[in-house]
Amino acid sequence: MALTLKEEDAADWVYRGEGAVNLVLAYAGSSPSFIGKVIRLRKAPKNGLESNGVSVRNSIALTPQERILWKNVDQLISSSDKEIVGQLYVEHVMKPLLGSNYVDVGMHILVTREFLELVEKNVTGQRPLWRVDAARVDTECDFGLLISDHSLFTHGSPRPSPCISVEIKISRLSEYNPLDLFSGSKERIQKAIKGLLITPQNNFRVFLNGSLILGGLGGVAKNTDVCIAKKFEDELKSFIEVDDGLCTENLLTLVTEALQKSGVLDKLLDVQKLDSIDIEGVIHAYYNITSEQCMVCKELSEEQAKIYASLHSASFDESLRIVKDYLIAATAKDCSLMLCFRPRNEEDSGLVYNNIYLESTKQAFDFKVYFIDLDLKRLSKVRDYYELDKKIVSRYRQKIKLDRGRNEVTGLEACNGKTVVSVELRCSKCKRKVMKLIATVAGINSIVLDPDKNTVTVVGEADPVRIIKNVRKFRKSATIVSFGSSKEEKKEHKKDVRKEEKKKEEKRDVMLPCLLDPIKIC
Ligand SMILES: O=P(O)(O)O[C@@H]1[C@@H](OP(=O)(O)O)[C@H](OP(=O)(O)O)[C@H](O)[C@H](OP(=O)(O)O)[C@H]1OP(=O)(O)O
Ligand SMILES: Nc1ncnc2c1ncn2[C@@H]1O[C@H](COP(=O)(O)OP(=O)(O)OP(=O)(O)O)[C@@H](O)[C@H]1O
């Protein structure tokens, strides 16, 4: 960490965006050390909700329990407190999984408190109000992460090539189907990207030469109406040489082809799928490794707690594996992809970059793809995930109750729940037996056996306890992997829970930007 950014450097850094944890600034000055770079600065929550005023997710060092969790990653646990664990996690956990070509670890540089205070003051006016309200730059932190600006094609040259970059966050909040995005089919990927473009929310941004031309900077954007779409199409004209009205379509083709050609989504999906056990199961493994009494089983009846007994009797190492894989998958579900395109020209058409030829415009483009925001999910988050899941399930149950009430009047079928059971399915006889036993339980709409994964997925309002009881008549070792609403339905309910939380937040005091002293509005 030789370089230090001081107060006088603050004016060279401009607002680029932010998430819940970091504020990101892009370099706009002329120092060769920083051209083509962004800096990620840690934020501190304003509401003081984290325990003892110290944010666990922001703290640099691993907790003793996390040191045990990550014990197989030597580089992580041998780091001293001063070394930055988040960066080591990206380098030694995520990079090997996602591929070194697509992951940029960045480097830490020192920053003075005066630098942080001044950049915060300079950029406050550009930050979304709710972000300003929620967190400020953490002025206690004396470093920032310097990383290449993946929305540009610079490579240190003072004159970056003209370029378009597209940022995609894999989330369900936009109106698109992630299954389309990950399908591998050109048509379906393009359909997903189109959906993201129309409802960008916090999940889709397009930058032209590093400046935002679609989506919300640092937050959520409204849907792409005719006006926005027209303006966007006009912006693209300087980049894609095609008749009016076809630039956006061609950009979609470019993005689709780059996603297909690079294979990054397949890699990402593999990592996202590491969480073979849902949070309702993982929470028990979490209590195994923290050696606390399981607060979840404590709330269940003896009968219900029996379902999870096998998870509690899993070995310590197995519990570590379950939790670790779950957290790695959580990182992979929350990261973004940045795809950057530039028209290919003879001088820089070395073999460094992949390229795509757009038949309709007769243009060749270089492209690069990077994953951004591969942050470590802290162990303590497992409890948060469980609590969130509980809220979602309870919301779902309320909905079923309501639906049942309505159905009594309309005679329609109730909404479905889903129970996943883990049971060894060795042969066709086993499968028949399990199928028969489950089929006798009331309230079942479908049963799907997966002999590769040794799981049975039961959809319907059937009682999970009855399901597992019946399966155990055949195999004692059977366990429930998850129950409640299906993942897709949960996501829908998650939206509602989030909306409610947001409403509560909006009721809190509002801070006006650009003012150092907050003004309270009634
Ligand atoms: O919990 P979720 O699904 O709302 O995801 C959070 C994201 O919200 P989103 O759904 O994308 O609007 C949230 O994104 P934003 O702040 O909305 O950009 C963060 O990514 C958060 O992760 P962390 O707290 O930074 O580790 C994300 O938290 P986790 O991925 O740790 O759950
Ligand atoms: N290396 C980069 N190059 C270009 N832009 C970047 C880079 N890193 C981050 N950004 C921009 O800054 C925004 C916020 O960064 P990031 O997602 O890392 O923040 P975060 O607080 O960690 O997010 P989250 O809340 O999702 O965890 C991104 O959405 C992206 O637009």
**161-179 per-position pLDDT tens digit:** 789 999 999 877 788 888 8
Name the more confident of 499 and 197.
197
| The domain over range 4-65+101-149 is classified in CATH as 3.20.20.70 | no
Three state DSSP letters for 452-465:
CCCEEEEECCCCHH
Number of Cβ within 10 Å of residue 231's Cβ equals 13
Report how far residue 330's alpha carbon sits from residue 106's, in angstroms, rounded to the nearest whole number. Answer: 21
Which ligand 2 atom is at minimum distance from the Cα of 106? 1
Domains 4-65+101-149 and 413-506 share a fold: no
Q: Is 417 in the pocket of ligand 1 (CB under 6 A)?
A: no
Tokens in use for 440? 């006798």
For residue 174, the model assigns a pLDDT of 85
pLDDT tier, 477 (very low <50, low <70, confident <90, very high otherwise): confident
Q: Tokens 């691993």 correspond to what residue?
A: 62
Report how far residue 457's alpha carbon sits from residue 3's, in angstroms, rounded to the nearest whole number. Answer: 55
For residue 319, the model assigns a pLDDT of 96
Which ligand 2 atom is at minimum distance from the Cα of 335? 26
Report how far residue 161's alpha carbon sits from residue 154's, in angstroms, rounded to the nearest whole number. Answer: 7
Tokens in use for 366? 């270089």
Which ligand 1 atom is at minimum distance from the Cα of 334? 30
User: Which SS3 state, helix, strand or coil, does residue 169 take?
Assistant: strand
Distance 250 CA to ligand 2 centre (A): 26
Alpha helices, DSSP H, located in 206-246: 226-236
Distance 165 CA to ligand 2 centre (A): 13
The arithmetic mean of pLDDT across residues 104-114, rounded, is: 95
Sign, CA dihedral 260-263-264-266, equals positive
In percent, the amount of the chain with pLDDT more than 90 equals 55
For residue 433, the model assigns a pLDDT of 83
Which ligand 1 atom is at minimum distance from the Cα of 220? 17
Q: What is the amino acid identity at position 460?
A: G
The arithmetic mean of pLDDT across residues 379-401, rounded, is: 85
Name the more confident of 37 and 409.
37
For residue 127, the model assigns a pLDDT of 97
Q: Is 499 in the pocket of ligand 1 (CB under 6 A)?
A: no
Three state DSSP letters for 283-312:
HHHHHHHHCCCCHHHHHCCHHHHHHCHHHH
Identify which ligand lies nearest to the alpha carbon of 171: 1
Residue ranges with strand state E in 19-150: 22-27, 37-45, 107-111, 135-137, 143-148
Alpha helices, DSSP H, located in 365-515: 381-410, 428-439, 464-474, 487-506
For residue 497, the model assigns a pLDDT of 67
The arithmetic mean of pLDDT across residues 317-345, rounded, is: 95
Could you say which DSSP state residue 107 is in?
E
Q: Is 189 in the pocket of ligand 2 (CB under 6 A)?
A: no
Distance 38 CA to ligand 2 centre (A): 10
Q: Is 441 in the pocket of ligand 2 (CB under 6 A)?
A: no
| Model ipTM value | 0.94
Which ligand 1 atom is at minimum distance from the Cα of 169? 11
Nearest-Å Rg of the Cα atoms of the chain is: 25
Distance 8 CA to ligand 1 centre (A): 33
Q: Tokens 């926005």 correspond to what residue?
A: 228
Q: Is 211 in the pocket of ligand 2 (CB under 6 A)?
A: no
Which ligand 1 atom is at minimum distance from the Cα of 330? 30
Report how far residue 510's alpha carbon sits from residue 180's, in angstroms, rounded to the nearest whole number. Answer: 39
Ligand 2: residue whose CA is nearest its atom 11: 17
Report how far residue 414's alpha carbon sits from residue 433's, in angstroms, rounded to the nearest whole number. Answer: 27
Asked if residues 499 and 109 have their Cβ atoms less than 8 Å apart, the reply is no
**Least confident interval from 182-186, 242-246, 294-298, 321-325:** 242-246
Mutate to test the pocket of ligand 2, among 40, 43, 94 (most ligand atoms within 8 A of CB): 40
Q: Is 22 in the pocket of ligand 2 (CB under 6 A)?
A: yes
For residue 521, the model assigns a pLDDT of 25
Report how far residue 76's alpha carbon sits from residue 91's, in angstroms, rounded to the nearest whole number. Answer: 10
Report how far residue 489's alpha carbon sits from residue 439's, in angstroms, rounded to the nearest whole number. Answer: 23
pLDDT tier, 243 (very low <50, low <70, confident <90, very high otherwise): confident
Could you tell me the residue ranges of all domains in the chain?
Answer: 4-65+101-149, 164-271+335-372, 274-330, 413-506
Q: Is 262 in the pocket of ligand 2 (CB under 6 A)?
A: no
How does strand 22-27 pair with strand 13-18? Answer: antiparallel
Q: For 401-454, write each residue's pLDDT tens digit.
A: 776 666 565 544 444 678 888 888 888 778 888 888 888 888 888 888 888 888
Q: Tokens 């309870």 correspond to what residue?
A: 394
Number of Cβ within 10 Å of residue 418's Cβ equals 20
pLDDT at residue 369 tops 70: yes
Report how far residue 279's alpha carbon sits from residue 212's, in angstroms, rounded to the nearest whole number. Answer: 36
In percent, the amount of the chain with pLDDT more than 70 equals 84
Ligand 1: residue whose CA is nearest its atom 18: 19
Tokens in use for 348? 């820089």
Ligand 1: residue whose CA is nearest its atom 21: 20
Number of Cβ within 10 Å of residue 454's Cβ equals 16
Identify which ligand lies nearest to the alpha carbon of 374: 2
Q: What's the mean pLDDT when you consider all of the chain?
A: 85
Asked if residues 438 and 447 have their Cβ atoms less than 8 Å apart, the reply is yes
Asked if residues 64 and 81 have their Cβ atoms less than 8 Å apart, the reply is no
> Which fold, 413-506?
Alpha-Beta Plaits (3.30.70)
